[in-house]
Structure formats: C-alpha cells, structure tokens
Structure 1
C-alpha cells in the first residue's frame, strides 16, 4: 500500500534512531552529518553502477530491479535523515523547489527559443488581453508602465505591477505589442534580474522610449 510522506518520513526516522543506537554501541557515537553525507555518496555510486548494468553498459551478476529499488530507498533515506538533522521540512520544501525548477526551466527554454515564458495572463489569471493591472497602493517596485525590450529583441508593453493574493509576491503584468496582443504575468524578481547569455550581459527587460525604433 502506498504511504503518505509523513508516514514514510516517520519510518525513516525510526530506522535512523536504530542506526544511531547501533553506531553508539560500536564506535561510541552516532554517525556525524558528514558521515551520513558520505554514506549517501556511496549509495549514489552503487545506484549508478546498477543503472549502468540495467542499461547494458556494465555487467554485474545478480543485478535487477530489486537491487535498484534497494539503492533508491537507501539514497532517499539518507536525504531524509540529513533534512531532519538540519531542520529542513522536506514535505514543505520539495513542492516549492519543484515549482521553482519548473519556472526556471520554462524561463531557460523560452530564452533559448527567443520567446517569452511568463504565464499568459489571459489564459491562467482570468485577465483579457485588453485588461490593465496595477497595485491598489500605487507600488511600481521600480518597473513603471511603458515599453520594454526583452533581451532577445521582442517588445512588450508593461501595464503595471500587482501582488499575488495569497503570497503577496509582486508580479509584472505586460503584453506583446502585436495585434491582437497577448497578456503575460511574470514574477517581478524574474522580470528585473540580469541575464548573461550568448555574449549578452544586461537586464532581461530594458525600458525604451515608446517611439524608439
């Protein structure tokens, strides 16, 4: 039966406590954090050998999915132990980190293609292409309405800056200068961050005069 994360983590901590007790009897102390990390490195090395064997790159007798399962669980256990020792709430951190990675990969893919990767406001934010947005208290966070050029060359019209209703994170609302326009939403931090790619060093979006070429 599939167990939820809290139950799996509790089992991992039970095993960790048992290992700490065994280690104390053997060497007078539990494993240090560094030793747990080194054990994790060893597990990853064994995991790599198993994967290579299953893929046909290496030949090791007696290797199958059961051994793969064992090493995967060992590696995950080490991660859970280290997280517990350093006070990291994996149940909270993992979804957040995955969301950050999705956002980062989307940004990289869009920049490589020379397009924009922000969330289409008209599709996912309940905004139409001719909508406008700004914070109720007039905050601009240094990004004023106007025309901006993406470092890949495309032009966009910034409408304003608004806050997420749940997290209060500031987002920039903007749209293409094409007809009809497409509206987009991007976290402010991503909008103003500098980029270094393909010989370019500078802002992701640069303000330009509305009548500039």
Structure 2
C-alpha cells in the first residue's frame, strides 16, 4: 500500500461523504444533518470500544474477524471526524497541526 498524506485522506474522505449525500437524497430526499453525522460517529466510536474489549478478550465476540472489523471502525471514525470538521467549517489539517504543536510544547515543559 502506498503512503497517504493527510491532504489525500481529507480529499478522499470528503468525496466519499459527497457520494453518501447523493444516496441520502435518492432514498430519503434529504442529506443527513451535521447532528445525524455526529450521532453516526458516536455510534461507531462506541463500536470501537466494544471491539477493543473483544480484541483484548474482555468482551465475548467470535462471530467476525475482530482485527479486520476494528481496523475498519478505527478508520471509519477518522473519516467521520474529517467529515464533521468540514461540515462545521473547521480546517482539520490546520486544527490537527495546532493541536499537535500544543501537546508537544506542553509535554516538553
């Protein structure tokens, strides 16, 4: 697999969300609201918690490939965060850079 830079990840994520909006229009005559996207993210974040527990043998789950499902859900959560940032007019690339700088600075004190 080739290495992706953050800009590519953002661009591809937003294109995928645009296509989902088309499906929402087709089947429900409206796009999901920001609130609905946030709820979908929170649902997937909860699933990451359950899958992490299953991976660590703290929650019984044997019906799927836990590792593959966990990889998918972790990636989906990153995707949702990019989508939510865009929909709320947040430059996630800039915000992430500033967050990392603050954290690094604070940890070096």
**TM-score, length basis structure 1:** 0.48
Instruction: For CA contacts below 8 A with separation 6 or more, give which structure has more relative contact order.
Output: 2
Which is higher, the Rg of structure 1 or of structure 2? Answer: 1
Q: Runs of 5+ in structure 2 lacking a partner?
A: none
Q: Structure 1, residues 2-32: CA drift from partner, whole Å, max 9, x if none?
A: 1111111111111101110101112111110
- Contact 1:23-1:30 at 8 Å conserved across structures: yes
The one of 84, 94, 101 aligned to 2:103: 101
* 3-state DSSP of counterpart to 1:18: helix
Partner of 1:2: 3
Partner of 1:72: 74
* 3-state DSSP of counterpart to 2:81: helix
Q: How large is the RMSD of aligned CA atoms in angstroms?
A: 1.3
Question: How many pairs were matched up?
Answer: 107
Partner of 1:43: 44
CA distance in 2, matches of 1:7, 1:103: 27
Residue pairs, 1:39-188, within 5 angstroms: 39-61=40-62, 62-106=64-108, 117=109
- Contact 1:12-1:81 at 8 Å conserved across structures: yes
CA distance in 1, matches of 2:85, 2:30: 20
**TM-score, length basis structure 2:** 0.90
Q: Runs of 5+ in structure 1 lacking a partner?
A: 107-116, 118-213
Higher strand content, 1 or 2: 1
CA distance in 2, matches of 1:8, 1:23: 22
CA distance in 2, matches of 1:8, 1:80: 9
